[in-house]
Chain A
Amino acid sequence: MTDPQGAQPRGALSGIRVCDLSGQLAGAGSTRYLAAFGAEVIRVEDPVTQGGWDIVRGAIPHVDERTGIEMGGAFNSHNVGKLGVTIDLRTEKGKDLLRSLIRVSDVVTENFAAGVFAQLGFSYEELQALRPDIIYVSNCGFGQTGPYSSFRTWGPTIQACSGLSFMTGLAGHEPAAWGYSYMDHMGANYMALGVLAAVVHRNRTGAGQWVDMSCCEAAATLTGTDILDADVNRRPKRAPGSVDSNRAEHRPMAPHGIYPASGDDEWLAIACRDDADWVALCRVTGKGWESRAEFRTAADRLAAQDELDAEVGAWTRSGDRFAMADGLIAAGVPAAVVARPEDRIEHDRVTADWGLWPEVEHPMIGRVRVDGLPVHLSRTDWVIDRPAPCLGQHNDYVMGEVLGLSREAIDALAAEGVL
């Protein structure tokens, strides 16, 4: 895409340097986003444990039988576009190197457990002493303060403690919760938002700040309407299994659910928003539901949801999920197959046209596709074309070009095991 002014477009965030000590997905996902828009993200890893701070490094999935710290498929996806250095922060020389890096960085990001970075000698006050306008973003499960600040979490813990898991399931069953770390993605997103809003503010005023992210608080905002409802309407506490998240939540819709289709574990989602959708559904199915007294009005259909779901399920059970979805959509009724990974990645026109699965070439893993971004910017769009860094891959560049160390000095640090 070319600049309408004729100038060569650069990365939207070029010129912003991030000293990144974050990992997993909840941290790494945020700086991945910044890197895709051209920020220079320098990922700092531990040489002693071979980057073992980040349990995702080297973890499944793998492209083939090869394993090892450079072979982790998720790590590659979460860290595309970043530079990687190794610094042993147990050593004073290592700490000095990190201090030098922070002096020339706009942003410092980390998602250690609460207090860990400060114990290493990098409290916000110490960061500020290195660079007065530094933007420091910490992200941990429960935040840096409060009675649970030392509690350890991962995605499912956050999703549990924020209400997201409880709310997700079928009536009459225990909560299904979320089958993945949704909050690792969303934690990363809010962390990136924190960085960006702080950069906007710094660029306007010259002042940096500490942004303290509690992933659990970010998660709790995502059930916000229910939190508000509990207080406003003094709702009694609900029991597990009393909610059904396949039914409509806050606006009355019926039928509204996930119904079986022909085939093994094939499903179809249908949502009738209003009478028009209902009439269209009745026309497509041809089952004569429109003449049934118990389904006449929207209120009737809500009251008879169990019966209605049984009828709809009986209709969908013998149909092809794609054909049914297409037919309903053509009639104006919201419908979708429950897409398997293969469906949405290999056979989905929308994700393909969007360029949602960019490919990178990793020196060990080879050519592999990764997550893209769900936005396109008309002038300065994202670019994902570089893999995750191998351990210490950019030591020479960062120590030499960014920090100005001589060849001899870098070699000496490496020989001492600081790098």
Chain B
Amino acid sequence: MSVEADAPGPLQGLRVVELASEHAAAAGKLFADLGADVVLIEPRSGHPARAIGPFLDDDPGPERSLWWWNYNTSKRDIALDLDDPVERVILDGLVDRADIVLEAEPPGSLATRGIDRARIMAGRPELIWVSVTPFGQEGPRRLDPATDLTLMAGAGPVWSCGYDDHSLPPVRGAGNQAANVSSVHAAMAALVALVERGASGLGQHIDLNMHAALNVTTEVSTVHWLVARETVQRQTGRHALPFMTAPTQIESADGGYVVLGFPPRAASSYQSILDWLEELGLTESFPDHVVLQLAVDRGGVTITDLGRDPVAVECFNAGRDAMALIAANLGAYECFEGFQRRGIVCGILYAPEDIAHDPHFEARGFPTPVHHEDLDRTFTYPGAPVVFTGTPWRIASRAPHLDEHRAEILATLESDR
């Protein structure tokens, strides 16, 4: 497979006007890194998200927020006072030439400032307008205060995460996921509308509800309730289910962690485990190696066997226990790679700081160097979420400074006239 490095991104030619926000910044980044022209509009004082850490050298400042850097690559920036009639003309001009408007303002707040979505869309029927809000545009909760933590708690994800010990609180999944989930859904829906516009010539409004987005991103918890009215219970490092299961997250000899998959069932896997135990000198400390041999001799076990044959269950459990023993006796990476090279599912609990140094991520070019000419330094950013081999994803530029592209944006508007 070759990626055509110089080709434009798949969304080249698409014009997006994004009102700077916390909740939809990731959607704007998806568009921008895929080649769309994304113009970010900020208040003259800078958007408050510029105050979100961490910061370059741990020194806060509007141009030093790494949160801002991460979520605003490849965008151009203009600062506008939307209450100033002169500046409003600039906004109107930008919206007038846009395919998509992306915003995450509280419902009704733009209208109170004279930015009337319905009126604008009536004048531009081909415009696609995406609104991202915690609880949607309508309903009694639409203006309720919310953060990532409270959204994740109220919409289901938190209930499923935590520890076997239920005296400990359930846990929020890390990484700003309420906004991440919502932003990818906002981008998907905008592209649906864009494809549809190709046939009808018409745009439309997209109402994204973050609470709903998280609710339908909880996998087994929702399905078990809807289908069987069962309530899942959180379990350390593994799936929440209506019943407790055996641990799969194992501390390795170097203090790291690995997560095992379903224990193997194939005869060849049982043989691999036996061989590896032998190689590691662990056979003697694992009396159930005879059960593993039995599993080899009987040709493995099937899922059906597990439901009716106690010997098969013994084999299955011995496989799981042997994997746990191996994991506890090796370094986390050695264990991860060793199991996988033997065709057995295993994952390593990497910290985000490990990603850029992993040979696989490196070989695929995931760590992405981005030059900051203003600092004369180059930093490593996360790469493409999806590799388009014909129309590459790329970070065209670092996140913009406040009002950085004012002159060129105004010049574009002027030349359009």
| A376→B132 CA distance, assembly (Å) | 11
B313 at the interface (CB under 8 A from A): no
Of A223-231, A284-292, A294-302, A406-414, the one contacting chain B is: A223-231
Contact B382–A349 (Cβ < 8 Å): no
Which of B66, B202, B345 interacts with A228 by CB under 8 Å?
A: B66
Contact A174–B237 (Cβ < 8 Å): yes
Which of B160, B181, B348, B387 interacts with A186 by CB under 8 Å?
A: B181
The smallest C-beta distance from B19 to any residue of chain A, in angstroms, reads: 18
Which of A190, A226, A357 interacts with B226 by CB under 8 Å?
A: A357
B170 at the interface (CB under 8 A from A): yes
Interfacial chain B residues near A213, Cβ < 8 Å: 385-387
Interfacial chain B residues near A341, Cβ < 8 Å: 156, 159, 221-222, 224-225, 231-232
Known: A225-B54, A227-B353, A273-B147. A13 touches B238 (CB 8 A): no
| A337→B170 CA distance, assembly (Å) | 11
In residues 142-198 of chain B, which contact A (Cβ within 8 Å)? Answer: 144-163, 166, 168-177, 180-182, 184-189, 191-196, 198
Q: Closest A-chain residue to B130, C-beta based?
A: A375
A16 at the interface (CB under 8 A from B): yes
B390 at the interface (CB under 8 A from A): yes
A-B contact pairs, 17 of them (CB 8 A): A5-B202, A124-B1, A148-B360, A160-B258, A165-B347, A170-B163, A217-B384, A225-B67, A226-B175, A227-B380, A256-B149, A258-B170, A271-B150, A337-B153, A338-B159, A351-B215, A374-B208
Contact B204–A157 (Cβ < 8 Å): no
The smallest C-beta distance from B96 to any residue of chain A, in angstroms, reads: 20
What are the 7 closest A-B residue pairs judged by CB atoms, nearest first? Answer: A209-B390, A73-B227, A336-B154, A160-B347, A230-B353, A269-B153, A157-B347
- New A-B pairs, 14, CB < 8 Å, besides A258-B169, A340-B231: A147-B363, A156-B238, A160-B347, A162-B350, A164-B174, A174-B251, A200-B195, A227-B380, A228-B66, A229-B66, A344-B215, A350-B211, A374-B213, A375-B189
Contact B385–A179 (Cβ < 8 Å): no
Interfacial chain A residues near B347, Cβ < 8 Å: 153, 156-161, 165
Contact B354–A163 (Cβ < 8 Å): yes
Name the residue among B58, B224, B259, B363 with the largest chain A CB count within 10 angstroms: B259
In residues 160-194 of chain A, which contact B (Cβ within 8 Å)? Answer: 160-170, 173-182, 184-186, 189-194
Q: Mark B215-234, 1 if CB is under 8 A from A, else 0.
A: 11111111111111111101
A383 at the interface (CB under 8 A from B): no
| A206→B269 CA distance, assembly (Å) | 47
B85 at the interface (CB under 8 A from A): no
Name the residue among A180, A209, A239 with the largest chain B CB count within 10 angstroms: A180
| A243→B84 CA distance, assembly (Å) | 45
Contact B149–A345 (Cβ < 8 Å): no
B389 at the interface (CB under 8 A from A): yes
Contact B154–A372 (Cβ < 8 Å): no
| A245→B173 CA distance, assembly (Å) | 7
| A217→B385 CA distance, assembly (Å) | 5
Interfacial chain B residues near A334, Cβ < 8 Å: 145-147, 149-150
A89 at the interface (CB under 8 A from B): no
Interfacial chain A residues near B198, Cβ < 8 Å: 203
Contact B1–A145 (Cβ < 8 Å): yes
Q: Closest B-chain residue to A235, C-beta based?
A: B353
Q: Mark B8-41, 1 if CB is under 8 A from A, else 0.
A: 0011011000000000000000100010000000
B409 at the interface (CB under 8 A from A): no
| A356→B230 CA distance, assembly (Å) | 19
B286 at the interface (CB under 8 A from A): no
B79 at the interface (CB under 8 A from A): no
Contact B382–A157 (Cβ < 8 Å): no
Contact B360–A168 (Cβ < 8 Å): no
Interfacial chain A residues near B1, Cβ < 8 Å: 124, 144-145, 210, 212
A303 at the interface (CB under 8 A from B): no
| A253→B231 CA distance, assembly (Å) | 32
Contact A185–B161 (Cβ < 8 Å): no
Contact B351–A214 (Cβ < 8 Å): no
Contact A73–B222 (Cβ < 8 Å): no
B364 at the interface (CB under 8 A from A): yes
Known: A156-B238, A192-B188, A203-B198. A336 touches B150 (CB 8 A): yes
Which of B156, B161, B386 interacts with A190 by CB under 8 Å?
A: B386
Contact B223–A73 (Cβ < 8 Å): yes
The smallest C-beta distance from B98 to any residue of chain A, in angstroms, reads: 16
| A33→B195 CA distance, assembly (Å) | 14
Q: Closest A-chain residue to B226, C-beta based?
A: A369
| A157→B261 CA distance, assembly (Å) | 7
| A152→B260 CA distance, assembly (Å) | 11
Of A40-48, A259-267, A396-404, the one contacting chain B is: A259-267
Interfacial chain A residues near B240, Cβ < 8 Å: 179-180
Interfacial chain B residues near A226, Cβ < 8 Å: 175, 351-353
Contact B227–A62 (Cβ < 8 Å): yes
Contact A175–B381 (Cβ < 8 Å): no
Contact B351–A167 (Cβ < 8 Å): yes
B317 at the interface (CB under 8 A from A): no
| A255→B139 CA distance, assembly (Å) | 28
Contact B391–A201 (Cβ < 8 Å): yes
